[in-house]
Amino acid sequence: MWMNIYQRLGLKSVINASGKMTILGVSSVATEVMQATAEAAALFVEIDELVDRVGQLISQHTGAEDSYVTSCASAGIAIAVAAAVTRGEPDLVARLPDSQGLANQIVMLRGHNIDYGAPITTAIRLGGGKVIEVGQSNLSYRWQLEKAISSETAALLYVKSHHCVQKGMVALKDFVEVAQRHHIPLIVDAAAEEDLRAYVAAGASMVIYSGAKALDAPTSGFITGQNQWISYCKAQHNGIARAMKIGKENMVGLVMAMERYQAHQPDWTQQLPELKEIAQKISTIAGFQADIEQDEAGRAIYRIRVKVDPSQLGLNAVEVEELLRTGEIAIYTRHYFLHQGVFSFDPRALKKGDFALIVDRLQEISRLSGAKHAAN
């Protein structure tokens, strides 16, 4: 029986129906991208020259003046904050993350203070930043953003993520206007976003992306934006960015993945007919009702949302999710709303035949729990 590389290492097979998630290795990298990565890994190169060239190539896709490649988006946050705090001064770069006595306050919305597997505040502090929250978790105003700015402010930070509160937040255009009025940089965390140009075009100073999410690149990230601020990011290579460096092979892999992404940008709406068909099949299984939902942050990404009926199934959504995840084949769902009796299947990372296995597993759970429920 054929086994994949992880099974040969003694690990179980995984069906990733949760999306581009770090805990599952984020993305499936295309063969041609990995071929370029392997070629780069076998050769030597002047790293500083490669960093500059990769930055130029990234900028062709983002419309920015320059870009700086990082090990991941989280590293990008720390480095961008460090750039704002140190302005590239060598002695200050060497001091970080100790920023005592410097203008180090990073102003952000309370509704944007998220945990993406680690608190965003941790990345900010690694860059020498001190978090200043604005507004409440569910509501904020531009005047609150304005009032929070002082001589101690290093930058504004705007987070675009499905993890954020999606209502009642100050708009990006207001962040841009406030930053420009006060002559301070605006950092945008757009880690999983698919539009590589929107935030640069909107006027952000530094925009952070993950390479491994929308782009399906090997583990990587980048900061793209204005020349001045990207030069300050590059200065961090002699400071905290040393611990966040990315290898030559993944730099090349990122560039190749970006080229592939631009040539084959996915249209997730094409998945809708299949998703509706699968949702109908799931809805025929006792204890489950399925429909289609769009991404929480408004991206054109569509998923199957499954609602569990405990009275019919004899199990609640938390128990069903655990059975899916801990089975012989681990099936991972999007489970942010389990407390509401709901989980979702994200199709973007699924392989041919995965949905059939998912439906079979739901049928098995329904059959076995139904027999147990009837026995009780």
Domain boundaries, the chain: 5-24+267-375, 44-263
Q: Give per-residue pLDDT as tens, 184-221.
A: 999 999 999 999 999 999 999 999 999 999 999 999 99
Please give the pLDDT value at position 372.
47
259-269, pLDDT tens digit by residue?
A: 999 888 777 78
**Of 224, 223, 225, 216, which Cα lies nearest the Cα of 71?**
223
> Distance between CA atoms of 111 and 100, rounded to whole angstroms?
27
Average pLDDT, the chain: 94
Domain 44-263 coded CATH 3.40.640.10: yes
Assign domain 5-24+267-375 one CATH number from 3.20.20.70, 3.40.50.720, 3.90.1150.180, 3.30.420.10.
3.90.1150.180
Phi-psi region of 17 (alpha: psi -120 to 50; beta: other; left: phi over 0): alpha
Range with lowest mean pLDDT among 71-80, 290-299, 310-319, 364-373: 364-373
CA nearest neighbour of 320 among 259, 374, 370, 246: 370
Round to whole Å and give the CA distance between 215 and 73.
12
pTM: 0.90
Over the stretch 340-356, which tens digit does the pLDDT of each residue have? 999 999 998 899 899 99
pLDDT in tens, 149-176: 999 999 999 999 989 999 999 999 999 9
Expressed in angstroms, the distance from the first to the final Cα of the chain is: 39
Structure tokens at 102: 């410097």
Can you tell me the mean pLDDT for 82-110?
A: 98
Residue pair 31/346 in contact by the 8 Å Cβ criterion: no
Distance CA 152, CA 95 (A): 18
pLDDT, residue 376, reads: 42
pLDDT (tens digit per residue) in 1-50: 688 899 899 999 999 999 888 888 888 899 999 999 999 999 999 999 99
Q: For the CA atoms of 228, 155, 224, 170, what is the dihedral angle to 10 degrees?
A: -140
pLDDT at 366 over 70: yes
Query: In the prediction, which pLDDT does 3 show?
Result: 86
Residue 373, pLDDT score? 46
- Both structure tokens of 299: 């991206």
Burial (CB count within 10 angstroms: exposed 0-12, middle 13-18, buried 19+), residue 171: exposed
Residues 6+ apart with CB under 8 A from 142: 170, 174, 178
> In the prediction, which pLDDT does 126 show?
98
CA 157 to chain centre: 16
Burial of 196 (C-beta count, 10 Å sphere; 0-12/13-18/19+) = buried
